[in-house]
Chains A and B, each alone.
Chain A
Amino acid sequence: MTDFSGLLKRLTLLFVRKVVHLYKSFSSMKEMDIAELERRFQEKIDKEIKIEPNDWMPEQYRKTLIRQISQHAHSEIVGMLPEGNWITRAPNLRRKAVLLAKVQDEAGHGLYLYSAAETLGADREQTIDDLHSGKAKYSSIFNYPTMTWADMGTIGWLVDGAAIMNQVPLCRCSYGPYARAMVRVCKEESFHQRQGFEIVSKLANGSPEQKAMAQDSLNRWWWPALMMFGPNDDHSPNSALSMKWKIKRSTNDELRQQFVDITVKQAEMIGLTIPDKDLKWNEERQSYDFGEINWEEFNQVISGNGPCNKERVDARRNAKENGAWVREAAMAHAEKRRSRKERA
């Protein structure tokens, strides 16, 4: 009897404590203003603690990430088109199998990234519709045509090479799901670059016609590849905030310089010439100086006036519209199977 009342007393005490605790945490929540939340958020970032989907984050951080991750996802998906163009015309079965595997990887990259954007509350359907309406951007490089087989090599070598340069620092991005997606992507990208370099070097060491084809391809892709790193630092307004939030770890110009330094040597090795008369080794900086990028061209392509912008977006839109019945049929089939299972 006495035992029982003792237990009751203890339970009551526990309950009261819990209520007090709940009340305290509730009122402290209310008192905690945005400035304090922001301070704690930045503190976490500075300590290299990752931000996870349900954690508090400034609205601008969320927006910046959704924009960046979905643009990245779109680039992976649209990036399948210029290479898909050559799958049926690959010169042999080995090249065809490799190209297929590479393009399939890009589809996977797109999916990891769309999923990462969804963890921030982005609506998948809306994200894709924004690409189709022209509201969302993607990497300008994919608006150039792939005219010869050598372009398959140059894309792997330069475009995937530039992508790797951009993506390696993103593996340490402050937002957990994006960083994790980037780790997967980076693991897969190095095969992309190597298969591309293999194609180019084979051509560069082949017949005079093949070598000319490789050089012509490099001539066409070099400058667009340099544009992939985005505007110069002094014209990149979002950069400072992205660096503070550790979404970005290096500036556009730093990454571009790194890319030039590495790639020039690779081109030399296979006997191709970088199409830049201002390219010169700078002994003092231990780096290459290079010519001015045609930013007018970059702006034109970004704003929809590149050689293939319309073709690319049309292809994506058609794929979605013409595939709608497949997605609907799959849903209907799934529902039918579900209800059949329930009845059984």
Chain B
Amino acid sequence: MSNKEWPLFEVFIRSKQGLNHKHVGSLRAADPDMAIENARDVYTRRSEGVSIWVVESKLITASDPKEADSLFEPADSKVYRHPTFYDVPDGISHM
């Protein structure tokens, strides 16, 4: 018996209009159309969604958690990007 497994898809659901799609999990399906149908049955049985994205898991490039420190270092050292870095004199409002 040939055991060619169906590819793995990652599933993203928009729970309601105005919100972005959010990763909810994964599933296997023969093709993207079937992945959408399976995602409906698996992840939206109680009206958790109004829109579904599926993407084959192997197509996702992820950052390496081991490199997280150096990857995000530029953000750590720039406190002046935050409004709290600045002193606002007393009496100044709406800023």
- Interface residue ranges, A against B (CB under 8 Å): 21, 25, 29, 52, 54-56, 104-105, 108, 111-112, 115-116, 118-119, 124-125, 177, 180-181, 184, 187-188, 321, 324, 327-328, 330-331, 333-334, 337-338
Is the CB of B28 closer than 8 A to any CB of chain A? yes
Q: Which of B6, B25, B70 contacts A21 (CB 8 A)?
A: B70
On whether the beta carbons of A125 and B28 are closer than 8 Å, the reply is no
| CB-defined contacts of A104 to chain B, threshold 8 Å | 41, 45
Give Cα distance in the complex from A54 to B45, angstroms: 29
> Which chain B residue has the least Cβ–Cβ distance from A108?
B42
Judge whether A125 and B34 touch: CB under 8 Å. Answer: no
Q: Which residues of A contact B25 (CB under 8 A)?
A: 112, 115-116, 177, 180-181, 184
A321 touches B30 (CB 8 A): no
**B28 closest partner in A (C-beta):** A124
Q: Which residues of A contact B62 (CB under 8 A)?
A: 54
Cα A184 to Cα B66 with chains together (Å): 29
Task: Please measure, in the bound complex, the distance between the C-alpha atom of A187 and the C-alpha atom of B48, giving whole angstroms.
Answer: 12
24 contacts between A and B (CB under 8 A): A25-B67, A54-B65, A55-B65, A56-B65, A104-B41, A105-B45, A108-B41, A108-B42, A111-B27, A112-B25, A115-B26, A116-B25, A118-B26, A119-B26, A124-B28, A177-B25, A184-B25, A188-B45, A324-B1, A328-B2, A328-B4, A330-B30, A331-B4, A333-B31
Q: Are B8 and A118 in contact (CB under 8 A)?
A: yes
Q: How far is the CA of A118 from the CA of B7 in the complex (A)?
A: 12
CA of A169 to CA of B16 in the docked complex: distance in angstroms? Answer: 29
Q: What residues on A are CB-neighbors of B67 within 8 Å?
A: 25
In the complex, per-residue mask of B1-36: 1 if CB is within 8 Å of any chain A CB, else 0:
111111010000000000000000111101100100
* Majority DSSP secondary structure for residues of A touching B: helix
Which residues of chain B from 41 to 83 have any CB-CB distance to chain A below 8 Å in the complex? 41-42, 45-46, 62, 64-67, 70
CB–CB A25/B70 < 8 A: yes
Supply 20 further A-B pairs (C-beta < 8 A) apart from A104-B41, A177-B25: A25-B70, A52-B65, A54-B64, A54-B65, A108-B42, A108-B45, A112-B42, A119-B26, A125-B3, A180-B25, A188-B46, A327-B6, A328-B2, A328-B4, A330-B30, A330-B31, A331-B4, A331-B6, A337-B31, A338-B31
- How many residue pairs between the two chains, A and B, have CB atoms under 8 Å in the bound complex? 60
CA distance A21 to B6 in the complex (A): 41
Are A29 and B66 in contact, CB atoms less than 8 angstroms apart? yes
Question: Interface residue count for B (Cβ, 8 Å)?
Answer: 24
Q: How far apart sit A337 and B34, CA to CA, in the bound complex (Å)?
A: 12
B46, chain A: closest CB distance, angstroms: 8
Write the nearest CB–CB distance from A130 to chain B, whole angstroms: 14
A331 CA to B62 CA in the complex, in Å?
27
Q: Most chain-B CB neighbours within 10 Å: which of A21, A111, A177? A: A111
Question: Which A residues are CB-close (under 8 A) to B26?
Answer: 115, 118-119
Residues of B within 8 A of A184 (CB): 25
Q: Give chain A residues whose Cβ lies under 8 Å from the Cβ of B27.
A: 111, 115
B contact residues around A324 at 8 Å (CB): 1-2
Closest Cβ of chain B to A275, distance in Å, is 36
Nearest chain B residue, comparing its CB with the CB of A52: B65
Bound-state CA distance A180–B22 (Å) is 13
- The distance from the CB of B30 to the nearest CB of chain A, in whole angstroms, is 4
A69 to chain B, nearest CB (A): 13
Known contacts A54-B64, A56-B66; decide if A330 and B28 are in contact (CB<8 Å): no
Nearest CB on A from B55, distance (A)? 15
Return chain A residues, CB-CB under 8 Å to B34. Answer: 330, 334
B25 to chain A, nearest CB (A): 5
Q: List the B side residues contacting A321 at CB < 8 Å.
A: 1
Residues of A within 8 A of B1 (CB): 321, 324
Docked pose: A334 CA to B32 CA in angstroms: 9
